[in-house]
Amino acid sequence: MNPGDEELVASARRGDRRAFEELVERYQQRAYHIAFNFARDREDAKDLSQEAFLKAFANLKNFDGRSSFYTWFYRILVNLCLDYKRRQKRAPADTFDETVENEMDPSHQPEKPRSPDQQVWARQISLRVGQALDDLPARQRTAFVLKNHQGLSIKEIAELMETAEGTVKVHLHRAVTALRQSLADFV
């Protein structure tokens, strides 16, 4: 039977590296995908998620167990992602890549090459989505990404963001309203 997170955390705190690596294996994909939703770049998402694990490892002794390891770790990760977005805002760059195109185009089929029109359309959506997400205030974007991309419940998001559920609902509504206006062309 697989040990639970609490057990692994306790072992890792006693210096068992293997136990921490087990936690990494358990959450690395989810961590990567969250980071990717914020960064929209594979390398950056890898760096961010790895940094979150390193930070968790270094601060394991400070983990008081009041929340689950998952919640505690995701809070570290989301904060790192938000810092990353703040840094990126100071030095904006064109982050368009092929993966985005593929995801944004509903008619996309990997084996079939797309027409130039479809490519242009997908590129437009990708850029607009990226821009619209970047334009959202940090807490709205966090609430939106955790709900829309990660499918967390309002309660979980509230716990992660250390705020009331009602506040999360307001952030989410405002984010959706702003995105809806930005993407109206594509309805």
Closer residue to another protein (CB): 66 or 124: 124
Distances (CA, A) of 104 to 44, 126, 128, 151: 20, 6, 11, 18
Alpha-carbon span 125 to 105, nearest angstrom: 8
- As measured in angstroms, the least distance from the Cβ of 101 to another protein is 10
- As measured in angstroms, the least distance from the Cβ of 9 to another protein is 15
- As measured in angstroms, the least distance from the Cβ of 82 to another protein is 18
Alpha-carbon span 110 to 118, nearest angstrom: 13
Closer residue to another protein (CB): 75 or 128: 128
Element (H, E) at 91: none
- As measured in angstroms, the least distance from the Cβ of 105 to another protein is 10
Closer residue to another protein (CB): 1 or 141: 141
Which residues contribute to the site for another protein (CB under 8 A)?
Answer: 17, 20-21, 24-25, 28-29, 32-33, 36-37, 40, 42, 45-46, 50, 53-54, 57-58, 99-100, 103-104, 106, 125-126, 129, 132-133, 147-149, 153-154, 169-170, 172-173, 176-177, 179-181, 183-187
- As measured in angstroms, the least distance from the Cβ of 65 to another protein is 22
Closer residue to another protein (CB): 78 or 129: 129
The DSSP output letter for 145 is: I
Alpha-carbon span 16 to 6, nearest angstrom: 13
Alpha-carbon span 13 to 99, nearest angstrom: 39
Burial 108-141 (b: 16+ CB within 10 A, else e): eeeeeebeeeeeebbbebbebbbebbeebeebbb
Closer residue to another protein (CB): 71 or 99: 99
Q: For residues 150 and 160, is the Cβ–Cβ distance under 8 A?
A: no
